[in-house]
Amino acid sequence: MAAPRVLLLLAAAALLAVSSVGDASGEGPRGRKLLVLVDDLAVRSSHSAFFGSLQARGLDLEFRLADDPKLSLHRYDHSASDLIRGIATECGVDFDEDPEAMVIDHINYASSEVEGDHTLIAGDDLIQSDVILGSKKIEAPVLFRGIGHAANPSNSLVLKVLSASPSAYSANPEAKLASVPSLTGSAISLVSVMQARNNARVLISGSLDLFSNRFLKSGVQKAGSKMSHDKAGNEQFVTETSKWVFHERGHLKAVNVKHHKVGETNEPSMYRINDDLEYSVEIYEWSGTSWKPYVADDVQIQFFMMSPYVLKNMSTDKTAVYSASFKVPDVYGVFQFKVEYQRLGYTGLSLAKQIPVRPYRHDEYERFITSAFPYYAASFSTMGAFFIFSVAYLYHK
Amino acid sequence: MIGVVKNDIVKLFGTIKSYDDGTFYFDEKYVDGSEYKGPITTSASVVRGVTSFANVVSGKLNIPGEKILGLAKFFLGIGLPGSAKDCFNQIESLSLLENNRIFVPLILSLPSKVLSLTSKDQLKVEVTTVFGSAAPPLRVNLVQVLGSDSKIITTDSKELQFDLDNNVHYLDITPLKIDVGKYSLVFEITLQDSEHETVYTTGGRNTESVVVTGLIKVDKAEIGISENDAGSAESVEKLDLLKDTKVSLSANHLQKLRLSFQLSTPLGRTFKPHQVFLKLKHESKVEHLFVVPGSARQFKIVLDFLGLVEKFYYLSGTYDLELSVGDASMENSFLRALGQLELDLPEAPEKAPRPPAQAVDPLAKFRPQKEIEHIFRVPEKRPLQEVSLAFTGLTLLPFIGFLIGLMRLGVNLKNFPSLPGPAAFASLFHAGIAAVLLLYVLFWVKLDLFTTLKYLSFLGVFLVFVGHRTLSHLSNTTAKQKTA
């Protein structure tokens, strides 16, 4: 097939969810329309199992060729693979420079009677994340054949979902090694994801075959291992990661922020130092069809002014309400109720609500202080003595 | 009429397209996404028409056999089509090609393209129709074996033996003395019955690539540190590369690290694998990779640390050594931990490049933070209640002393005016003073300044008036007493 590498890069990275942000309570965070950009319409049939599973989940697919003039995406005067490389670099992923390179692993390859060049990798180094890969463990290795990439270490938003094994390297299998390969070992990432700060999600894979019907249905036996699996982990892997990428899992929203003094129900506009207050928020997770309560034990509330004065874990009774109560610090100023929640694979929550805190009024202090009694006694005894003296002095003979 | 159609068919087949691997297909121009049929549908309709025509027409159609074979290979190469329509087209075209009157394509395929010398695999070749039915009697010859870079290994033509039960042609490759590696095998199919030449098409010579694998022997592995100039190694350790080893070496920047070993194939020749890497991993996760160069005799690498000081970013410390050797034709590729090397490099100068940033474990970024409890300001310590009360008592002592003193002095109120007028004023005066003092006490307890000032002003005016009367009366009385 002509230009397989371009196919690998282009179609693999180009599943865009055209998002019409749905805010109504029944609608999810992203729309259901999906634009599929391909280089060759044959992908529609060779990957029909994957596309079929997406349609079964309610996504509305539309297939277009990458240079379709009716698309409002423009293609500049570069080759498609350069464009994809550029987009990937922006997302923190650097592909191997050599367009003929493939990931080769002479120890962790999948046994195949048809090809013997060890480019069919049986990958089982998956990221430990139930959000991205689903709660069920992927038992069988995932088949991969394609180009490798590395996650930029200075990028804090990119994650390696499927990494290569320590014996893997990226080189052209047909030719002898001309120079030291730039990508070797576990630094090679086969499939990466990136979640941007605006919670947009991107999945970058160097292999288009990973999603193809053939790999989804094929069995796998890792070289050197006696265990052979009837079905490779590809189908489960592809289904679960596509659920995560299309925001059907791991998308949180926080609503109904409430705070009040303990014992009252209305929300005051200002607190006084040393008040006891209670803060509550509701957090939901989109499950693909509806918003379900999010259950976790590590959501924290901060009472923040330049730095957190109070940081407390919030507790939940599994009905999406998270609450905590604490005493207002004895520092006055303008504080914020801050919830900063960033967890692997989940969209970030960043809530802030400003609230002033005032010091004691002049009449909120202690009224009569025992250690001041001598002073009270002095004052009043002087007044009494003055009265008696005035009487005595005027009328004494 | 028929002749015109036959000519047109020949012309149509002139527009056939092909991929590089010998498959031929028909395609139409891509005009519009909704109307585009694709190569599968187009080629299927051509096959449908041409085979149906050929079945009813007398005489042969002038189509070269290789194009029919190419179309058959195209439909076989699709694999499993995605849509039902494509699947139907594929199966229908193959069944029409299975026994058509132009040429019946015979496909040569290898059930296994990976042959292992260790398990003494035989080279197996199948020649069948597109649907796998048996081919007519024929001979398969292996005419050429080409190595990588198209080097000719052998050109003697070897005939493959035929296994009737499994319909497979096979050949033992051990007598061919083929070593491990990638090869292109060129087969030639010859039909035993010459009459079949007009019925079947075989494509003449077929080339298939295979990989021959085997166990590679590793021996004479040595690692050691040597001084910069002398040739002889100071400390050499023999390594057994069949398992992980734990050598412990130490060197400074003036020394060199030597690693050498020999690789040989099952047939005894030297072997040059695709991957021969030596990796040094610093404790701070900075890695350096070296390709071990191989000569005709052995693989040897010499790391001269004097020249590598800058490449290593001047990082001294413990480096883990790892050797990985692998190749497509190697059945025992390995990744071995060799041990550790304590490297002592000089200090980095000011302008030296910093080592590259290493990846941070992503899970570490997403931990919950430590809880913070605000530490409230401790109120100042007050003396005990008893102490305060004691001092209150002490404060009241002078007052009591004053009262006692007054008693002792025998104070009396003899000078109180006796006349009712002045007496009333005097009483009012003292009552007014008492009222002002009471107002002060009330102010301290609960009144605010404004109320107090209001009452004070009333009382003050009253007191001035009354006080003046009383005091002037008193002073008159005293003056009268003095003059009298």
Is the residue at B317 inside a domain?
yes
Q: What is the pLDDT of residues B57-78, one digit of tens each?
A: 877 777 888 888 888 888 888 7
Rounded CA separation B116/B87 (Å): 36
The pLDDT value recorded for residue B127 is: 87
* Portions of chain A given CATH number 2.60.40.1930: 251-358
- 8 Å CB contact of B113 and A113: yes
- 8 Å CB contact of B374 and A329: yes
Domain boundary among B65, B84, B104: B104
How many other β-carbons are positioned within 10 Å of the β-carbon of residue B465? Answer: 14
Rounded CA separation A50/A43 (Å): 11
Rounded CA separation A151/A94 (Å): 6
Q: Is A31 helix (H, G, I), strand (E, B) or coil?
A: coil
- 8 Å CB contact of A373 and B411: no
- 8 Å CB contact of B329 and A371: no
Rounded CA separation A142/A120 (Å): 10
The pLDDT value recorded for residue A8 is: 44
Claim to verify: residue B83 and residue B146 sit in the same structural domain: no
Q: What is the pLDDT of residues B295-335, one digit of tens each?
A: 888 899 988 888 888 888 888 899 999 999 998 888 888 89
Q: Does B369 touch chain A (CB under 8 A)?
A: yes
Overall number of domains in chain B? 4
- 8 Å CB contact of B326 and A106: yes
Mean pLDDT confidence for A331-339: 93
**Burial of residue A379 (number of CB atoms within 10 Å: 0-12, 13-18, 19+):** middle
Mean pLDDT confidence for B464-473: 89
Q: What is the pLDDT of residues B377-405, one digit of tens each?
A: 888 888 888 999 999 999 999 999 999 99
**pLDDT score of A75 more than 70:** no
The pLDDT value recorded for residue A162 is: 94
Claim to verify: residue B113 and residue B208 sit in the same structural domain: yes
Claim to verify: residue B120 and residue B161 sit in the same structural domain: yes
Claim to verify: residue B163 and residue B266 sit in the same structural domain: no
Claim to verify: residue B133 and residue B86 sit in the same structural domain: no
Claim to verify: residue B10 and residue B97 sit in the same structural domain: yes
Is the residue at B362 inside a domain?
no
Q: Does B366 touch chain A (CB under 8 A)?
A: yes
- Which fold, A251-358? Immunoglobulin-like (2.60.40)
Residue of A nearest to B389 (CA): A373
Tokens of B296: 């005709």
Alpha carbon of A394: minimum distance to chain B alpha carbons (Å)? 7
Chain A positions touching B182 (Cβ under 8 A) are 116-117
- 8 Å CB contact of B392 and A377: yes
Alpha carbon of A4: minimum distance to chain B alpha carbons (Å)? 13
Provide the pLDDT confidence category of residue A393 given band limits of 50, 70 and 90: confident
Provide the pLDDT confidence category of residue B31 given band limits of 50, 70 and 90: low
The answer to whether A111 touches A67, Cβ cutoff 8 Å, is no
**pLDDT score of B51 more than 70:** yes
Residue of B nearest to A383 (CA): B437
Alpha carbon of B414: minimum distance to chain A alpha carbons (Å)? 6
Is the residue at B368 inside a domain?
no
Rounded CA separation A134/A127 (Å): 11
Top-confidence residue, A9 or B458? B458
In this complex, which of A106, A127, A394 lies closest to B474 when CB atoms are compared? A394
Is the residue at B358 inside a domain?
no
- 8 Å CB contact of A397 and B383: no
The pLDDT value recorded for residue B169 is: 86
Provide the pLDDT confidence category of residue A26 given band limits of 50, 70 and 90: low
The pLDDT value recorded for residue B24 is: 82
Is the residue at B130 inside a domain?
yes
Q: Which residues, in sequence order, are bridge partners of residue A109?
A: A121
CB pairs under 8 A between A and B: 214
Top-confidence residue, A76 or A285? A285
Claim to verify: residue B234 and residue B340 sit in the same structural domain: yes
In this complex, which of A113, A166, A181 lies closest to B335 when CB atoms are compared? A166
Claim to verify: residue B248 and residue B293 sit in the same structural domain: yes
The pLDDT value recorded for residue B34 is: 66
Domain boundary among B104, B134, B158: B104
The answer to whether B97 touches B90, Cβ cutoff 8 Å, is no
Mean pLDDT confidence for A272-293: 92
Residue of B nearest to A374 (CA): B392
Q: CA angle, B290 as apex, B284 and B292 as ends, to 5°?
A: 145
The answer to whether A84 touches A78, Cβ cutoff 8 Å, is no
Provide the pLDDT confidence category of residue A1 given band limits of 50, 70 and 90: very low
Claim to verify: residue B266 and residue B231 sit in the same structural domain: yes
The pLDDT value recorded for residue B134 is: 81
Claim to verify: residue B292 and residue B177 sit in the same structural domain: no
Whether ipTM > 0.90 holds is no
Q: What is the pLDDT of residues A164-205, one digit of tens each?
A: 999 999 999 888 888 888 899 889 999 999 999 889 999 999
Longest dimension (CA), chain B: 180
Give the percent of chain B with pLDDT over 90.
14
Q: Is A99 helix (H, G, I), strand (E, B) or coil?
A: coil
The pLDDT value recorded for residue A23 is: 40
Q: Which residues, in sequence order, are bridge partners of residue A191?
A: A162, A205
Q: What is the pLDDT of residues B182-212, one digit of tens each?
A: 888 888 888 888 888 878 888 778 888 888 8
The domain spanning residue B195 has which CATH number? Answer: 2.60.40.1080
The pLDDT value recorded for residue B395 is: 93
Q: What is the pLDDT of residues A87-109, one digit of tens each?
A: 888 888 999 888 889 999 999 89
Mean pLDDT confidence for B18-30: 76
Q: Is A160 helix (H, G, I), strand (E, B) or coil?
A: strand
The pLDDT value recorded for residue B348 is: 82
Give the percent of chain A with pLDDT over 70.
91
Which domain range does residue B44 map to? 2-104
The pLDDT value recorded for residue B411 is: 82
Is the residue at B23 inside a domain?
yes
Provide the pLDDT confidence category of residue A7 given band limits of 50, 70 and 90: very low
In the block, tokens 């008492």 appear at B434
Mean pLDDT confidence for B9-19: 82
Reference B94, options B53, B135, B44, B55; nearest CA is: B44
Chain A positions touching B279 (Cβ under 8 A) are 184-185
The pLDDT value recorded for residue A24 is: 40
From residue B445, alpha-carbon distances to A43, A256, A367, B25 in Å are 90, 46, 9, 107
Report the number of secondary-structure helices (H) and strands (E) in chain A: 8, 25
Residue numbers of B between 381 and 440 with CB closer than 8 Å to A? 382-383, 385, 387-389, 391-392, 394-396, 398-399, 402-403, 406, 411-416, 426, 430, 433-434, 437, 440
The pLDDT value recorded for residue A87 is: 87
Domain boundary among B213, B239, B259: B213
In the block, tokens 């303990």 appear at A262
- 8 Å CB contact of A177 and B291: yes
The domain spanning residue B330 has which CATH number? Answer: 2.70.50.30
